[in-house]
């Protein structure tokens, strides 16, 4: 069964460093998303991406964040200068023809020290 994959599973970085989180969505999906979950809290929407552009982004998704689909298979989230409060689990999700169902990857745990 097709699934969304994410790498790395755990990333540790120092405050101020840039990180890139990688996702491989399900191959025929057209809609891509990033969410984050701070430990013990609810899952929060960051950004949605369709037709090679951002379709919606949240207040969390400020100028420090960017997304890219560089080669038609990967979908990346970049954080330019990480802060301690960026420590969280980051989930990638993808959806097919309709946006109704989203399939989540296993997540990347980002720890900023």
Partner 1 sequence: AQTVTQSQPEMSVQEAETVTLSCTYDTSENNYYLFWYKQPPSRQMILVIRQEAYKQQNATENRFSVNFQKAAKSFSLKISDSQLGDTAMYFCAFMKPGNTGKLIFGQGTTLQVKP
Q: Which residues bind partner 1 (CB under 8 A)?
A: 31, 33, 35, 37, 41-45, 48, 50, 55-56, 58, 89, 91, 93, 95, 99-104, 106-107
How many angstroms separate the CA atoms of 85 and 101, rounded? 29
Quote the least distance from Cβ 53 to partner 1, whole Å.
Answer: 11
The minimum distance between CB 47 and partner 1, in angstroms, equals 9
Q: Which is nearer to partner 1, 27 or 51 (CB)?
A: 51
Question: What is the rounded distance in angstroms from the CA atom of residue 74 to the CA atom of residue 32?
Answer: 10
Nearer to partner 1, 42 or 71 (CB): 42
Asked if residues 28 and 71 have their Cβ atoms less than 8 Å apart, the reply is: no
The residue among 35 and 75 lying less far from partner 1, judged by its C-beta, is 35
Neighbours of 26 (CB within 10 A): 17
CB of 5 to partner 1, least distance (A): 11
Three-state DSSP at 84 gives helix
Give every CB contact of residue 62 below 8 A, 6+ residues apart in sequence.
none
């Amino acid at each position: 069964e097709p699934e969304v994959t994410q790498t790395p599973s755990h990333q540790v970085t120092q405050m101020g460093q840039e990180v890139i989180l990688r996702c491989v969505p399900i191959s025929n999906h057209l809609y891509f998303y990033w969410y984050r979950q701070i430990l013990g809290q609810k899952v929060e929407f960051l950004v949605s991406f369709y037709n090679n552009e951002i379709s919606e982004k949240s207040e969390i998704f400020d100028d420090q964040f960017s997304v890219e689909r560089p080669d038609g298979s990967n979908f990346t989230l970049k954080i330019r200068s990480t802060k301690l409060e960026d420590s969280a689990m980051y989930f990638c999700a993808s959806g097919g023809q309709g946006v109704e169902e989203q399939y989540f990857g296993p997540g990347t745990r980002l720890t900023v020290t």
